[in-house]
Structure 1
Amino acid sequence: MIIKQLLAFAAVVMLASLVVSVNGSNFAFYKLSLTWPNSVCKITTCKVPIPTYFTIHGLWPTLSTGKPVPPYDPVSNKCNRNPISPDNIVGELAPIRDKLDKKWPNLWLHKTNVDFWKIQWQHHGMCSDYPRDPLDYFRDTLDLAQSKRFDPFKALGVQPSDQTPHLLDTLLKNVKKNFGAYPQITCSMPKKGILLLKEIRFCLKRTKKTPPSVVQDCPTTFGDQCTNPLTDYVLLRATPTIFGLHNVTSDLLAST
């Protein structure tokens, strides 16, 4: 009898923990993810001209563990009540469409910018603190990404170069010094033995006010092809990488 009661209690506790997670109470911070196009693009697969500045990948609600908040699902993850669907955001974004096209483009040749924005809204915006306000979600992300405070070059303390690799640990420490918190840096490896800085992600605490503004250390400071900050040397290339054909879809949608 006692064993059955204990098992029943454990089941209730497990169910409660699942509900807490689904309802987003572990949603602790945002990641502002910025992409360096030269590290993910090939001329044969990316739109031209390739941007010569960091573009926006997204503003991602993130759990305290560093994992992304799961996408909205009306059954398994009803994180917000009746969020606007991806198909209904395009008209809402009309006032900032020109800015989005420039700063938040889809780099892949065979997808439109609108396709990219819909994916970002579906995967992240619907479970953010802006579920009924896509205009403010995208506009606030634009404002963060365009502010001097979140300038990747200033934070990294380096400029693009085709010849100068940088120790990943040095880049992370530069950002900690210049920005005030450790970022997450991800890399791509278009050719064996060559690591390219693909994205830099700044972490911002979730507060009652939007947009998020309080920076914090990212719980995971490197990822993708970057595996060891003490041995990995990373290039921030000044020109597009042309190591052969490479489908960038996986690069652009990684960690969406």
Structure 2
Amino acid sequence: MFVNQILAFAAVVVVSLVVSAEGSEFAFYKLSLRWPTTLCIAAPQTCKSPIPDIFTIHGLWPTLKDGTNVPPYNPLTNNCNPNPATNIVPKLASIRPRLEKKWPAIAQGNTNEGFWEKEWENHGKCSDYPQDPLTYFTSALNLAENSKYDPLKVLGVKPSDTAHDIETLIQNVKRNVGFYPQISCSMPIKGTKQLYLKEIRFCFTRGKPPSVLQNCPDDMDNLCRSVQPPQRTVKIPTPITINSAHNVTWELLASSA
């Protein structure tokens, strides 16, 4: 009987190793696009100049069916793919101009290379491209650069000091692309409860490359939900600019502080 128990245990170990070798059992990819001005509005001098005036990529995240991100790769606790690639930046040389425009680090002190490495460590290693960072990052760029998923176009609004009902924005996206996104909020201005749009996230069925849009399991994050209707509104602030002396040029900033 003892021998049988050992054999049974060994079989379980083999099965677990096989599952690990096949990669994470995630259901879809979440493409997260962020509005840089929201990240910088409270303290513009902490952001690099010029602050992008377009939605930029935060990441392309393997995601479980319930909407939870797959945990970062770890050879002991989450060996989602065997021997994923490391030292990825040189492998991205051919798409570097696209990355620098669409996938930049926003905060002072952070480098683009460090941001890309972090996203690879946290998400890329558990994607369907563990040995191919070039295709992983290219897949994200191709989706983010597709005018079909232009956030302002699908949200149906322009940056301004106007507060928009979040449910209305979500329905605008559903009407324009056929599926529900996820809206992520921020509350950067102290002393107010006004939400600002931090990110819009599109969900794509798992594929190589991901291309088929689907509903996101939850159409807004917890911070968005923390404000009850009808006060559940969000602003998409007008882009701000900073010169070398960190002087802020944005007429709405003073009125929002």
- Smaller-chain TM-score bracket: 0.7 to 0.9
Amino acid at match of 1:239: P
> Distance in 1 between the 2:55 and 2:96 partners?
18
SS of the counterpart of 2:185? strand
> Distance in 2 between the 1:229 and 1:28 partners?
30
> Distance in 1 between the 2:228 and 2:219 partners?
9
Aligned to 1:199: 199
Summarize deviations over 1:176-199 as a string: whole Å, max 9, x none: 110111000001001222210000
TM (normalized to structure 1)? 0.82
SS of the counterpart of 2:224? coil
Q: Structure 1 residue 124 and structure 2 residue 123: aligned?
A: yes
Q: Percentage identity across aligned positions?
A: 54
Q: Structure 1 residue 102 and structure 2 residue 110: aligned?
A: no
Aligned to 2:6: none
> Distance in 2 between the 1:230 and 1:169 partners?
9
Q: Structure 1 residue 78 and structure 2 residue 79: aligned?
A: yes
1:1-256 to 2 correspondence within 5 Å? 26-41=25-40, 42-85=43-86, 88-162=87-161, 164-191=162-189, 192-207=192-207, 210-227=208-225, 230-231=229-230, 232-240=232-240, 242=253
> Distance in 1 between the 2:95 and 2:114 partners?
16
Gaps of 5+ in 2: 1-10, 241-251
Summarize deviations over 1:38-83 as a string: whole Å, max 9, x none: 1111321000111110000010000001000111111111111110
Q: Structure 1's 195 and 110: CA in aligned 2 closer, same or farther, altered over 3 A? A: same
SS of the counterpart of 1:199? strand
SS of the counterpart of 2:209? coil
> Distance in 2 between the 1:199 and 1:159 partners?
15
Aligned-residue CA RMSD (Å): 2.4
For the Cα contact (< 8 Å) 1:167–1:229, is it kept in 2? no
Aligned to 2:244: none
SS of the counterpart of 2:199? strand
Q: Cα offset for 1:220? A: 1.1
Summarize deviations over 1:95-132 as a string: whole Å, max 9, x none: 11111111100001011001100000000000000100
Q: Cα offset for 1:26? A: 3.5
Q: How many residues align?
A: 226
> Distance in 1 between the 2:83 and 2:100 partners?
27
Amino acid at match of 2:168: T
Summarize deviations over 1:195-241 as a string: whole Å, max 9, x none: 1000000000013xx21111111001111521157431100111348
> Distance in 1 between the 2:178 and 2:228 partners?
19
Structure having the higher Rg? 2
Q: Structure 1's 220 and 229: CA in aligned 2 closer, same or farther, altered over 3 A? A: farther
